[in-house]
Homo-oligomer: A and B are copies of this chain.
Amino acid sequence: MQPVPEIGEGKRGESGYLGYLMRQAVAANRQATERALEDLGVTQPQFLVMTLIHAYPGSSGADLARAAMLTPQTMSVIVANLEKAGRLHRANDPANARRQRLELTEEGLDLLNQSRERVRALDRELAADLTAEQEQFLRKWLVQVAQRHDRAT
């Protein structure tokens, strides 16, 4: 009663939907990432948001939501969890009473630096078996896929 194929076989292999294969690969990569960050208590979305705040300090929640392709509501939850853990703090924006400037705390910056190394190592593995041409083709295709559907929104 379990004729369910293994990864790499049947529809779960090279003959499956491209969309399914992408999701399968991303899911595997996400699990590997979360395992790597587990002992730091950092999730993948939290790592992404800390990275963004570090790159663009003083951004608002709305800014971060746009950058991460998430809704402001979703970002608000992630930011709240990071704040609860003492990894960022909110400051008033002198020019706009509605805006909240988000900045990493010392602890947040420290965690980000530790996390970044591990994530980078995982990322290098992804391209380990590729030639420079293959990697470039891949990157271009991934960006195109994101752009195509983004425009359609």
Contact = CB atoms under 8 A, between A and B. Distances in A.
Interface in A26-73: 26-33, 48, 52, 55-56, 58-60, 63, 66-67, 69
A22 B22 contact: yes
A21 B130 contact: no
A119 B5 CA distance: 21
Interface string A142-153: 111111111011
Given A28-B150, A141-B138, A18 B69 contact: no
A129 B140 CA distance: 12
Contact of A142 (B24, B129, B130, B144): B24
Nearest to A13: B143
Given A66-B4, A149-B32, A134 B136 contact: no
Nearest to A60: B1
Given A28-B148, A146-B24, A153-B31, A130 B126 contact: no
Given A1-B58, A19-B29, A21-B142, 14 more contacts: A7-B143, A8-B143, A11-B55, A14-B143, A16-B139, A17-B123, A18-B139, A21-B143, A22-B26, A24-B143, A25-B146, A28-B145, A126-B145, A138-B141
